[in-house]
Structure 1
Amino acid sequence: MRILVIGATGYIGHRVSAALARAGHTVLGLTRDTTSSAARDLLVNEVEPVKGDFADPDSWRGYLDGTDAVIHFLMDMDDPISTDRRLFAELAASQERLGRRHHLVYTTGVSCYGRTGLALMDENTPGNPESPLGFRFLLEKELAAGTLAHTVVRPGFVYGGPATTSLSGQWFAAAEVGEAVFYGDTSKHYSWVHVDDLAEAYVRILDNPAAVDGGVFVIADDQPLKLLDVQRLALRAAGYVGEITFEPAEAGGLMQVAADQDELVSSVKAHRLLGWRPRHVSFTDNPVQHYRAWKASRTSA
Structure 2
Amino acid sequence: MKILVTGATGYAGSRVSAALARDGHSVLGLARDTASAAARALTSAEVTPVEGDFVKPDTWRGHLDGVDAVVHLLMEMSDPYGGDQRLFAELQAAQERDGRTRHLVFTTGISSYGRTGLPLMDESSPGDPESPIGFRFQLEQELAATGLPHTIVRPGFMYGGTATTSMTGQWFASAEAGTPVFYGDTDKHWSWVHIEDLAEAYVRILDNPAVVDGETFVIADEQRLRALDVQRAAVRAAGYSGEITLESAQAGGMLQMAADQDELVTSAKARRLLGWTPRHLAITDAIDVHYRAWKAAQPVS
Q: 2:90 aligned with 1:90, yes or no?
A: yes
1:187 is aligned to 187
Q: Which residue number corresponds to residue 102 of structure 1?
A: 102
Q: CA RMSD in A?
A: 0.9
Aligned equivalent of 1:149? 149
**2:67 match:** 67
Give the match's secondary structure for 1:286. Answer: helix
1 CA distance for matches of 2:194 and 2:83?
A: 28
Amino acid at match of 1:267: S
Corresponding residue for 1:227? 227
- Residue identity matched to 1:257: M
- Cα distance in 1, alignment partners of residues 132 and 204 from structure 2: 30
Task: Say yes or no: does 1:293 pair with 2:290.
Answer: no
Are 1:122 and 2:122 an aligned pair?
yes
Q: What CA deviation, in whole Å up to 9, does each residue of 1:85-132 have, x standing for no partner? A: 110000001011111100000000000000000000000001000001
TM-score by length of 2: 0.99
Is residue 2:43 matched to residue 1:15?
A: no
Offset at 1:300? 6.5
The gaps in structure 2 that reach 5 residues or longer are: none
Tell me the SS of whatever aligns to 2:297.
Answer: helix
* 1:79 shift after superposition: 1.3
TM-score by length of 1: 0.99
* Equivalence for 1:160: 160
Paired amino acid for 1:184 = G
Matches of residues 127-146 of structure 1 in structure 2 within 5 Å? 127-146=127-146
75-84 vs 252-261, which deviates more? 75-84
Which digits, 9 at most, give the CA deviation of each residue in 1:237-286, with x for residues without a partner?
Answer: 11101111000000000000000000000000000000000000011101
Please list, as runs of the form range in 1=range in 2, the aligned pairs for 1:228-247 lying within 5 A after superposition.
228-247=228-247
Give the superposition deviation at 1:145.
1.6
Q: Is residue 46 from structure 1 mapped to residue 51 from structure 2 by the alignment?
A: no
Look up the match of 1:214: 214
Aligned to 1:264: 264
Gaps of 5+ in 1: none
Structure 1 runs of 4+ off > 2 angstroms?
Answer: none
Take 1:24 and 1:185, find their aligned partners in 2: how far apart are those partners?
Answer: 44
The structural deviation recorded for 1:299 is: 4.3
Per-residue CA deviation, residues 155-185 of structure 1 (Å, 9 max, x unaligned), is 0000000000001110100111000100000
2:130, 2:175 → 1: CA distance?
33
Asked if residue 80 in structure 1 is aligned to residue 102 in structure 2, the reply is: no
Alpha-carbon distance in structure 2 between the residues aligned to 1:300 and 1:151? 39
Distance 2:74 2:240 in 1: 32
